[in-house]
Amino acid sequence: MEQLWVPSLPILGGRMLPLLRHCCDFGSHHALTWRSIFQTSGREQKQIRSWSAQCSANHEGASVSEKDSPKTILAVPDNSLLDARILYCTSPALGHNKEAHPESNKRVPAIVDALEKLELSPKHRGSQVLEIQNFNPASLDDVARVHSRSYITGLQKAMSAAADEGLILIEGTGPTYATETTFQESLLSAGAGITLVDSMVAASKLGPNPPLGFALVRPPGHHAVPQGPMGFCVFGNIAVAARYAQHQHGLKRVMIIDFDVHHGNGTSDAFYDDPDIFFLSTHQFGSYPGTGKINEVGQGDGEGTTLNLPLPGGSGDYAMRCAFDEVIAPSAQRFKPDIILVSAGYDAHALDPLAGLQFTTGTFYMLASSIKQLAKELCGGRCIFFLEGGYNLQTLSSSVADTFRAFLDEPSLAAQFDDPAMLFEEPTRRIKEAIENAKGIHSL
C-alpha cells in the first residue's frame, strides 16, 4: 500500500511527542509521512460519477494484502501521561472534500482554531492538554474486524477512478463521496481512535485518573455499515476502536454512547448481536436514516445491549438531562463497562442546518461532564470521544471547545455563545413518554 501524503497540520504549540520505549504497541500499521503537497483550494473538479460500494460484493473472497512493516511504538512519556487531562488526535482529511458539501474539510480546522483562540491548546495548557501528532493509520486487519473485506477491497480499488475523475460517489443511494485520498485518510482517522485507546490504556496503568481522549477526525463513521459507506461515513471509526480495545487490550465490555442527532445505524449493525458491547443512541425521531426505533434492542446473545431513545423534534437541554439521569447513567451502571466510547455528534445544536433538535453549547458541556464522571465511577476514567456530525462551523467549534473545558473541570463558556432567544419550548410531554418507554423496555 502506498503511503499517504497529506498537508502538514498547524502545530498547536505542542511539542512533537517522542517515542515511548514501552506500552502502546500499535501493531503493523503503516508509518505516516506529512507533506504539504495537496492543495484542495481551487482544485478542478472533474465530472462526478456514481460508484456503489455495494457492487464490491463482486469481489467477495478477494484478499486485501499489506506490505510488511515493523511494529511501531508510539505514546507519550510517563510523566506527561500523569499530568495530562486531555489527549487528542486530529485527522482533518483535507484531501477528502466536495465543494458545498456539509461534511467538508473545514470542520476539523475550525475546531483547531477555536481551541487555539480559547486557549485550550497545548500551547496554552502545557502538559494538561497533549496532542499526539505523528500517529499511524489503522491496519486493514483492524478495519476488517468491523467491515467486510469485499468493501475494503472495493473502496481501495475505487481510488484509481477517483484519481482519474476527481470525485466519485461511493454510496449508491446517498451523498457519500470519495476523492483519491479518501481511502488512506479514512484509515488515518480510524488510526487516531486506535492511538487513543493505546494511550488511554497506558495512562490507566500509571494512575487512577487517566486523561480523556478525543479523536477530532473525519470523515465521520457511525453510519458506515459493515458492508459499505453511508451518510457521509466511510469507516466506522468508533466501531474499529471498540473491537481493537477488546482484541488488543482485553477491554471486553465496551459501552458506546452516541448523542449525534442521527441514529448511529452502522455502529448498531456492527454489534447488534454482541452481548459485550452496549450501544446506546439518542437521536431525533424520524431523522436520517430512519433506523433506531425504540423497540430495536439487539438480537440473539446481544438482546438487551442495544438501546435507542428517539427524541421528538425540538428536544433540547431538558430532554438530554432527563435522558442522562434516567436512561444513560442507569444503563451504564448496570452494564459495568471496561471503557466508554462516545460518538460525539454536534449536529443536534439548535443552529445546525441538518436536523431539528435544539441542544446548546451548554448541553454538550453537560454531556461531556456527566459522561466523564460516569467513566470515573465505572471504568477507571477510560473514556474517548469521537467526532461525528456537526455542520455549522461556529457551533461545532465552540461546542467542542466547551467539551474540552468540561474535561478540564472548568466552567462552561456557553453563555458567550448561546442566545436563549433562539430556543423555543421543548415538547416535555412527548419527551417524558419517550424516556418512560425506553425505561420500560429495558427495565430501568
Residues 6+ apart with CB under 8 A from 252: 246, 276, 338
Alpha helices in 208-276 (DSSP H): 237-249, 265-270
- State the pTM of this model: 0.85
CA angle 137, 143, 148 (to 5 degrees): 150
- pLDDT tens for 191-206 read 999 999 999 999 999 9
Over pLDDT 70: what percentage of the chain?
82
Mean pLDDT of all residues in 78-86: 82
Residue 223 known to be catalytic = yes
Question: pLDDT grade, residue 366 (50/70/90)?
Answer: very high
Segment among 1-5, 65-69, 109-113 with least mean pLDDT: 1-5
Please check whether residue 95 is in contact with residue 38, taking contact to mean a CB–CB distance below 8 angstroms: yes
Q: What is the phi/psi pair of residue 419, to 5°? A: -100, 110
Cell 477507571 maps to which residue? 380
Hey, CA dihedral for 6, 241, 287, 391, is it positive or negative?
Answer: negative
Average pLDDT over residues 230-253: 97
- Using CB atoms within 10 Å of the CB of residue 323, give its burial: 0 to 12 exposed, 13 to 18 middle, 19+ buried: buried
Give alpha helix (H) positions in 284-328.
317-323
Q: What is the DSSP letter of 230?
A: B
Distance CA 372, CA 138 (A): 26
pLDDT at 14: 33
CA dihedral of 95, 31, 231, 225, whole degrees rounded to 10: 160
Specify the length of the chain in residues.
444
- pLDDT greater than 90 at residue 427: yes
pLDDT of residue 91: 98
What lies within 8 Å, CB to CB, of 204 at 6+ separation is 210, 380, 381, 382
Q: Closest Cα to residue 370, out of 358, 357, 359, 383? A: 383
User: Which strand (E) or helix (H) includes residue 82?
Assistant: helix 78-83
Per-residue confidence band for 17, with pLDDT thresholds at 50, 70 and 90: very low
CB 186 within 8 A of CB 147: no
pLDDT of residue 171: 82
- Per-residue pLDDT averaged across 402-428, rounded? 96
Top mean pLDDT of 38-52, 53-67, 94-108 is at 94-108
H/E element holding 79? helix 78-83
The candidate with the shortest Cα–Cα distance to 282, out of 232, 319, 238, is 319
Contacts by 411-418 with C-beta closer than 8 Å and gap 24+?
412/361, 412/362, 412/365, 413/118, 413/361, 414/360, 414/361, 414/362, 414/365, 415/362, 417/361, 418/360, 418/361, 418/362
Is 297 in a helix, a strand, or coil?
coil
Sheet-wide strand order for 177-178: 49-50, 168-169, 177-178
pLDDT at 81: 82
**228-244 mean pLDDT:** 97
- pLDDT at residue 65 is higher than 90: no
Q: Is 344 exposed, middle or buried (0-12, 13-18, 19+ CB in 10 A)?
A: buried
Predicted confidence (pLDDT) at residue 67 exceeds the cutoff of 60: no
Would you say 237 and 220 are in contact if contact means Cβ atoms under 8 Å apart?
yes
Name which residue leads in pLDDT, 368 or 67: 368
Residue 68 has pLDDT above 80, yes or no: no
Q: Which residue would you say has higher pLDDT here, 11 or 435?
A: 435
Residue 77 — pLDDT band, cuts 50, 70, 90? low
pLDDT at position 173 is 54
- Give the span between the Cα atoms of 282 and 371, in whole angstroms: 14
The three-class DSSP label of residue 214 is: strand
In which band, very low, low, confident or very high, does the pLDDT at 79 lie, cut at 50, 70 and 90?
low
The pLDDT of residue 12 is 27
Predicted pLDDT of residue 437: 98
Q: Catalytic: which of 223, 262, 263, 283?
A: 223
CA atoms of 376 and 399, how far apart (whole Å):
22
Given a cut of 70, whether residue 26 has pLDDT beyond it is: no
